[in-house]
Structure 1
Amino acid sequence: MSKDAAGLAGLLATTGVLHFLAPKPFDGIVPRSLPGSPRTWTYLSGVAELAVAAAVAHPRTRRAGGLAAAALFVAVFPANVKMAADWRHASPAKRAVAFGRLPLQAPLIAWALRVAR
């Protein structure tokens, strides 16, 4: 497995597991426009991240996994926007984290597309 694929699979798996071990921070960034409980969306996104990590890790599904990872990074962007909006009056450190996540999506998407190739 390439370093790119291993790193992406590791990032997705780690984040996916965190959705179950420490769901509360993820609950807080679920957009209010989504129906149902934020916890349900936290768990669903955790499952999605774990499934995509597994797809990226396996050579036969790596292309599809990379494309799915790119789509996942696009899909979670509204949560990052919500976090930035919610934390706009927080401490400078929290604001830096929240606003720093927004432009980080572009290199994550590029990384996933690179793995898909």
Structure 2
Amino acid sequence: MIKLAMRLILALLYASAGYLHLVWPEPFLAITPNWVPHRGAVIWWTGFAEILGAVGLLQPFSKQLRQAAGIALAAYALCVWPANINHFTMDMAREDGGLGLGYHVPRMIAQPIIIWLSLWVGEVVGPHAKPQNSIEL
């Protein structure tokens, strides 16, 4: 029951973030490192990926699809960590300290938790993580 609740919460968070990436990309563009090519397209596609991952976690028909979504969302969270670090360094360098350590430190700590949580609710890790047999056509 706890895993299902966490799956719903994580899917809601990812779907909401994905929606924001699509309709309000400016804050995400502002924290994306300059070395990322085609930043606008990357923001759009990451939003789309978050929404697809959320749908994959929620669908009840295929454990394999939930596992794929869990792996993809964990990889996504790992890949966007540089943007979070960039935001931290840019923000803390501001004269007023930006959002401050009270925002950024918990956010940095949350990232590996989100990675693990994506794998756990996607049934990639944990006691029920055995992959299902392949689908026969």
How does the TM-score come out when normalised to structure 2?
0.77
Instruction: Provide the secondary structure at the position in 2 that maps to 1:53.
Output: helix
4+ aligned runs moved over 2 Å, structure 1: 89-93, 95-100
Would you say the 8 A contact 2:92–2:98 is kept in 1?
no
Partner amino acid, structure 1, of 2:12: G
* Bigger proportion of residues as helix: 1
Partner amino acid, structure 2, of 1:44: W
The within-5 A match list for 1:1-117 is: 2-36=4-38, 38-59=39-60, 60=62, 61-90=65-94, 91-92=96-97, 94-96=99-101, 97-117=103-123
Instruction: Provide the secondary structure at the position in 2 that maps to 1:94.
Output: coil
- Kindly state the Cα deviation for residue 98 of structure 1 after the two structures are TM-superposed: 3.2
In structure 2, stretches of 5+ residues that fail to align are 124-137
Instruction: Provide the secondary structure at the position in 2 that maps to 1:28.
Output: helix
Partner amino acid, structure 2, of 1:82: N
Instruction: Provide the secondary structure at the position in 2 that maps to 1:87.
Output: helix
Instruction: Provide the secondary structure at the position in 1 that maps to 2:99.
Output: helix
Would you say the 8 A contact 1:30–1:82 is kept in 2?
yes
Aligned residues: 116
Would you say the 8 A contact 1:16–1:49 is kept in 2?
yes
Partners in 1 of 2:26 and 2:83 — Cα distance? 14
Would you say the 8 A contact 1:52–1:65 is kept in 2?
yes
Q: Between Structure 1 and Structure 2, whose CA radius of gyration is higher?
A: 2
In structure 1, stretches of 5+ residues that fail to align are none
RMSD: 1.7
- Kindly state the Cα deviation for residue 69 of structure 1 after the two structures are TM-superposed: 1.1
Partner amino acid, structure 1, of 2:22: F
